Structure 1
Amino acid sequence: MANYLKIAVAIDFSEQSLKALDRASQLAKEHNAILQLVNVIDTKSFGAVSAYDLKYAEELKKENILKMEKLEKEALQTGVKEVESIVETGSPKGILTQLPQVDLIVCGATGLNRMEKMMLGSVAEKVVRHALCDVLIVR
């Protein structure tokens, strides 16, 4: 079994991503690993790029940073030794598959965007196909 030093978990605040966070926290404790919470604001879902869209993305980023700080504290309370978080804007598939120095990516089988799963394929599927490290999909 691999010794994971850094475990990333994809967070979109859906029920599935919170289940993935629970599993990633367990693994981080078992491996004495750093837990990295990753939230990506999918700017493609905003439609056309405009000043409004950019302002909305910045407001959403501020809100998500506060939510992520809360999740960080909760993970530390469960016994995870070190937790860090990242909130980015862009393509979740691209950002999650290019995380540096990550040994394992944990994500939920489905997220908030069920329409995308029907139309384009899920973020989880893309991560499984393109990640440079191990991937765990949580149901």
Structure 2
Amino acid sequence: MREQQLVERADVAGGVVVGVDGSRSSLRALRAALEEARLRGCTLHVVRAWTLRTAPRPPDTPGGAVPTLQEYAGYLERCTEELVTEHVGPSPGVPVEVHVVHSPSPQGLISATDNADLLVVGHRGRGGFSGLVLGSVADQCVRHARCPVLVVRPNI
């Protein structure tokens, strides 16, 4: 097995960027971002930003052992690729690139907007503030992204 590279920034050259964390809201954002990428004829960049606090522990880590950052990154890359295949399909009709970024979610997504055409986020992710109208990550992205931001709300 190859050593996983630890990436702290998603460098994209145009296209649609979408943040995913596995939540229902992020999966709605993924579907909307795919449609935007199809309409624009561009690459879909799926970004999974993570920190030790937010990353699930790799299940193959022996009890009592602490996974390395590279093991976390490798596990999250596999999970994110599986999630994309499950919800987008193996042949989505547009190029898809998965970026697993060791960074807090807002910073990881905002840094990916330097050259992006559009950032798509869900209205709420896995955070614990259920009373918020807009999640903290979406709020930060709307305020600081360097491209237009689409916040995908649930169908009401």
Separation in 2, partners of 1:21, 1:125: 18
Counterpart secondary structure, 1:77: coil
1:24 to 21, 30, 33: 33
Whose strand proportion is higher, 1 or 2? 1
8 Å Cα contact 2:18-2:119 kept in structure 1 = yes
Q: Write out per-residue CA displacement over residues 34-91 of structure 1, whole angstroms, 9 at most, x where no aligned residue.
A: 1000001133558xxxxx9x73654432222112222444355232x21101101121
TM-score by length of 2: 0.70
Whose helix proportion is higher, 1 or 2? 1
TM-score by length of 1: 0.78
Separation in 1, partners of 2:148, 2:53: 27
Name the structure 2 match of 1:84.
97
Identity, % of aligned positions = 29
Separation in 2, partners of 1:75, 1:25: 11
Q: 1:28: how far off?
A: 0.5
Unaligned residue ranges in structure 1 (runs of 5+): 47-51
Q: Structure 1 pair 15/103, CA: closer, same or farther in 2 (3 Å)?
A: same
8 Å Cα contact 1:7-1:33 kept in structure 2 = yes
Unaligned residue ranges in structure 2 (runs of 5+): 1-13, 56-63
- Say yes or no: does 1:37 pair with 2:46: yes
Q: What is the CA RMSD across the aligned residues, in angstroms?
A: 2.7
Separation in 1, partners of 2:103, 2:76: 14
Separation in 1, partners of 2:128, 2:70: 24
2:140 to 102, 126, 130: 126
